[in-house]
Structure 1
């Protein structure tokens, strides 16, 4: 990036925003779908790590990274089903269950993934959108993975499903008023199970991106709390899928700021720049701490609204 000067920083932040935002995007859309049904799943950090490990393991053993993505999604859905079944029991707190499953998911992934720390698995391919340029920096920055494109398309599709389909109406009804949903003859636990499992499936796919594309390996420090930050991202996005896309890109750009500045020789405050996503999370939570603002658009059955 040194040949491009400060333009290289902007290019690196753009490329980083695309790459780093992809797990944020899938996990936040999954958590949004879960919360629309009236349930919070804080266990998505464990789901993300488990998805990363299972995707890498399957890709290594079969040679197919796309099969790894599918298995990661199924592993996430399984954790979502487990979360929904436990939370469906009387007097069970969904936040406490989420924390327990987060610990279970990370611990299980670390235990099962020890054999896959060193081997190199096939990773997901990228589409070359920078073919028109002779600059290697531009060509590298515009290598975009298919999962990011799918995530971009998923955001408006999820918005359409939630606002224009019967299934979306049922999910929103359950999330806003469980009593009203029961009066209409819908099973609240069954709807929430489907929504939580679907949300876990998306989170698992987000985890597969970490191990199979960026950074493209499996290790125990892969996630860096992205699953937990996604919950804050959903609140920041006011439970709107399109806003989740914008918020994910914002978080991704913040995460890419440190390495981008390093590329042009800015080394002072390096650790502070690397902490930008976490600082941004803190700033967002403080800025939206007013109940009149934070809860705008929040489903009525969420624990934070009661």
Structure 2
């Protein structure tokens, strides 16, 4: 069948891989968008992602329910977000430094508690077989879509609408653009940022649950491969737009799926170089979006990297 499809099998594999690989990028980037729209940056989402993956897997092993694992991962991510938000409320505290500290803390905590769950097998999250109409195995595999990917796609549309049309969304935008204006309007800036950071942590934790309970579908200490940090670059590339985050997550996911796709069709020389595609893309985007002469388009005015 691979021979019959030829290069189409590579394209099909990349499309399917983009859907599978993009989901953690999508949830973490949407969470970071909420946080950064409030004027705060959270580099600790890498640690939140890893701890969410561990807590989801451990919960699924102990309870037999992958959805219980997702719920616990979201709660754990929210707790990390609240901790980050609370510490950042203290005077003379730097958001970036706190984020790096919590990234190391969350990763170390996950490795410590997760050692007992490397071997046990957890029940996976369900997927919807949208390729049921085809007899081609590659198409069936590519169109087997996890429920969390669909939830993330719907959430990106909702957040895009909410930032423009709801009171809560407008409050977050005002706080992120001008803290002084928000205070003049009677809003508690620290509280809004605390809630926004907690919401971002919840989504990052859910993204971690996807990693351990669906793709790759296991728990190990190298499960994240820096996806939490790459998602921060994705948010900048997407210009803090949830819909653009969805498109950018698919782009990152396609880049991550390129190496396995080439390997699946028999490319044995140099294919491993394509595994570095997401990291090269991250570096390229950071260089392309950095300029000492102008502010980033769409960046919240209170965000430290926009000043």
Q: For structure 1, which segment, 258-267 or 94-103, has the greater mean C-alpha deviation from structure 2 after superposition?
A: 258-267
8 Å Cα contact 1:288-1:294 kept in structure 2: no
How much does 1:169 deviate? 0.8
8 Å Cα contact 2:25-2:207 kept in structure 1: yes
How much does 1:183 deviate? 0.9
Paired residues for 1:161-180 under 5 Å? 161-180=162-181
Q: How many residues align?
A: 306
Q: Which residue pairs with 1:265 in the alignment?
A: 266
Paired residues for 1:250-261 under 5 Å? 250-261=251-262
**Deviation by residue 1:203-234 (Cα, 9 ceiling, x = unmatched):** 00000000000000000000000000000000
Q: Supply the distance in 2 between the matched residues of 1:230 and 1:169 (Cα, whole angstroms).
A: 24
Q: Supply the distance in 2 between the matched residues of 1:122 and 1:291 (Cα, whole angstroms).
A: 49
Paired residues for 1:42-121 under 5 Å? 42-121=43-122
Secondary structure in 1 matching 2:145? strand
Q: Supply the distance in 2 between the matched residues of 1:197 and 1:292 (Cα, whole angstroms).
A: 33
Secondary structure in 1 matching 2:71? helix
Secondary structure in 1 matching 2:17? helix
How much does 1:292 deviate? 5.9
Q: Supply the distance in 2 between the matched residues of 1:146 and 1:218 (Cα, whole angstroms).
A: 20
Computed over aligned residues only, the root mean square deviation of the Cα atoms, in angstroms, reads 1.0
Q: Which residue pairs with 1:154 in the alignment?
A: 155
Q: For structure 1, which segment, 192-201 or 259-268, has the greater mean C-alpha deviation from structure 2 after superposition?
A: 259-268
Are 1:202 and 2:165 an aligned pair?
no
Q: Supply the distance in 2 between the matched residues of 1:92 and 1:237 (Cα, whole angstroms).
A: 27
Q: Supply the distance in 1 between the matched residues of 2:293 and 2:264 (Cα, whole angstroms).
A: 42
Q: For structure 1, which segment, 38-47 or 2-11, has the greater mean C-alpha deviation from structure 2 after superposition?
A: 2-11
Are 1:135 and 2:136 an aligned pair?
yes
Q: Supply the distance in 2 between the matched residues of 1:136 and 1:267 (Cα, whole angstroms).
A: 22
8 Å Cα contact 1:235-1:294 kept in structure 2: no
1:7 to 1:293, Cα distance in 2 relative to 1, 3 A: farther
Q: Supply the distance in 2 between the matched residues of 1:292 and 1:214 (Cα, whole angstroms).
A: 41
Secondary structure in 1 matching 2:110? helix
Give the TM-score, by structure 1 length: 0.98
How much does 1:160 deviate? 1.0
Q: What are structure 2's unaligned runs of at least 5 residues?
A: none
Q: Which residue pairs with 1:277 in the alignment?
A: 278
Q: For structure 1, which segment, 279-288 or 7-16, has the greater mean C-alpha deviation from structure 2 after superposition?
A: 279-288
Give the TM-score, by structure 2 length: 0.98
Q: What are structure 1's unaligned runs of at least 5 residues?
A: none
